[in-house]
Structure 1
Amino acid sequence: MDNAGQSTIVQPMTKRYDIAIVGGGLNGPALALAVARAGLSSIVIDALPEPVRSGAEFDGRGYALALSSKRMLAALGLWGDLAEHAQAMHEIKVTDGRVGDSRVFLGLHFDSAEIEEGPMGFMLEDRFLRRRLLQAMSDADLIDHLSGQTVVAQDVTPEGATLTLANGDTIAARLIVGADGRSSGTAARAGIRRTGWDYGQTALVCAISHELPHNGVAHQFFMPPGPLAILPLPGNQSSIVWSERTATAQQINALPDDAYMDVLRPRFGDFLGKIELAGKRFTYPLNLTLANSFVGDRLALVGDAAHGMHPIAGQGLNAGLRDVAALAHVITHAQRRGEDFTLPQVLARYEQWRRFDTATLATATDLFNRLFSNDNPLLRLGRDIGMGLVNAVPSLRRGALREAAGITGDLPDLMRA
């Protein structure tokens, strides 16, 4: 890092860090910023070049940030600059069946007015969050950012850990954190196996512009091939996460833009008026993958490196940020007590905290996907009765709303009000 505080390609061979973070997406930088608050140094190693990460072009990708994630970004000093780009989600409407279907059932309606904390969540475009994280790392004296480099080996001894990069350089640290996605090399090199399966579904992701205002309402339509989420962005635009059987999704994605929209429109309906494609189109294969352990010798996993789940509840990034907040909580509290935060018994606190929650969430999303991604009349009747019951009982509805907002259970420091 130069004297102006700008992010540079560092030569870390002679420098030792408290924490080496492998993965420069969203969770890795967030963790670096979180532990810097406790005076801990870190390096974030990103396989992608920084210009790719910092692209400012609108492409339609966005995240549904739970209220707890917004609190965390505020605690890290990031939300002030992000708020102007965020769209509050005031309501969520969950529907069983496609728009226009005579059997359509509005099963659940969540309204943020039912809880005192405010909006349950916010939609934020990927480009704004990534750029703000990069800027914050650049401004932080305790964080180095190494972009365009990959880790090819890691070694752990009682004295510390060493990472070897593809260019031959080595990095020394007290702790390694894998934030490198569902195919985590960090986990694989540590011998941590994974459990999971493929759903046979692919998510088609894009943004659309529409004629009528969305009024901050998010929609989730459960259809036999998979769910369709319509998530409000600022202005008359929405982010689409549209799941189909993989073969069908591949055929749809191969279509030109006009034909692609011709397939989407009947599924979408006309409740927002005329719709048009805005930005780029993406596809993501859907699977469930859980690391059999979230920790190892001088090692911890966060985000998709620890768990990847179906996007049916929109909780992927929120679960990752909760990992980050929990790990930072465990590390910083150990530091204050004079404990070595790399000890197995300390890292075990993080695993115990997060493993049950993520396993429960993964099980719930898996069950919901299997329950709703079909047109079995008996299953449909049962799920509609269940949703109707939740919707009719205010205490159940508020409980589900607070759960979606991420403000239930034992919260890490960064996610408390």
Structure 2
Amino acid sequence: MLASVSRRRSLAALAALGGSFGAGTALAQLRIDIAGVGGTRVPVAIVDFRDESRSPQPIAAIIRADLERSGQFRSVDAPAGLSETSVPVFGDWRSRQADALAAGSVTRLADGRLDIRFKLWDVVKGSELMGQAQAVLPDDARLAAHRIADAIYEKLTGERGVFATRMAYVTKAGSRFSLVVADADGEGARVALTSPEPIISPAWAPNGRELAYVSFESRKATVRIQDVQTGQRRVLADFKGTNSAPAWSPDGSQLALSLSREGGTQLFVINRDGSGLRRLTQSGAIDTEACYAPDGSKIYFVSDRGGGPQIYRMPASGGSAERVTFGGNYNISPAVSPDGRTLAYISRVNGAFRLTVMDLASGQSQQISDGNDDESPAFAPNGKLIVYASRAGGKEVLMTTTLDGKIKTPLLVTLAEVREPTWGPFTRQ
């Protein structure tokens, strides 16, 4: 049965069912440990920034970790002593096998802000590639480092970086649940909501400001929307029965939901202001876990209409559905890459739940994890990484992985279980 396995997103909470945002409470920071061997990675040297001790954050170390986690780069040992005003001796850096070099400085301004500057050089050609400066409050030093990593990533790959984006996820510590917003590396975590009742299925709005999620605080599953900046919340769906699995349309104008208001669990669509509710599926099965294709033309969802949970696809306006997954008898939690080419999902293999990716053009799929309890995959907004929840050492953890599974980064939480990650858009408000 579709709802037979615990911890499977909204399925788990539905089976189990029969505070406002202020300054926030920082969680224990997540420790990053990169494992796996990727293919060809660009060797890049990031020199410790001159006077970066004036910053509350280790600027160069954050940049290095960001670039390594992307799977596109590997760090080259870089001795201190260089800044953006220096003239590198490129022969020395070529002997260190570096293809690119970045260095910078941190200066505290009279108004208390930090002036953070850097330059990037092409070591192979012996030329300057770019330079940048930003003045930020000390509390924004980590974000400034992520933005520098984004700039380096884009200059060297031609693709937009995601290091300055955010994630949201749910933690459980004892009997309390928390909705958490953090940087894309898992650091800088802040609690947006706490509750003695489960919080599940968080989903970022395309505007990067709001989160939709399922709350059980009224002793039933209801869908709510929360402004991440102000903490203001409102109920979007509190219909008879269960209200679950919210998914934003790409333009943010509406959400797909799973509702049981008319009997079995079916897919509906509703405007972001709560108006215009309309039923999409008319099956006698359980239809849930909807997600939109990036162009908004189609919806992918999970249904047991064929006897076991599989992923299907239909027009976003409703209509005939076609089956997408055929390998195995249990495939759930679909997520479509921003370019619409790749489907990530969880497949049960010999009793283990593993992250799988499918090329949608060919239908070919590949398991990219060797875990036993993976769940809730979500793509980075540039489509180059996937975040998902898994289990390690008896605890639930977040993982990021490249699409080929060769570079995996566990984000470890020491004080709480962590689950149901969702990666925010490029927009950060």
Give the TM-score taking structure 2 as reference length.
0.24
Give the TM-score taking structure 1 as reference length.
0.25
Structure number with the higher strand fraction is 2
Q: Which has the higher contact order (CA 8 A, sep 6+)?
A: 1
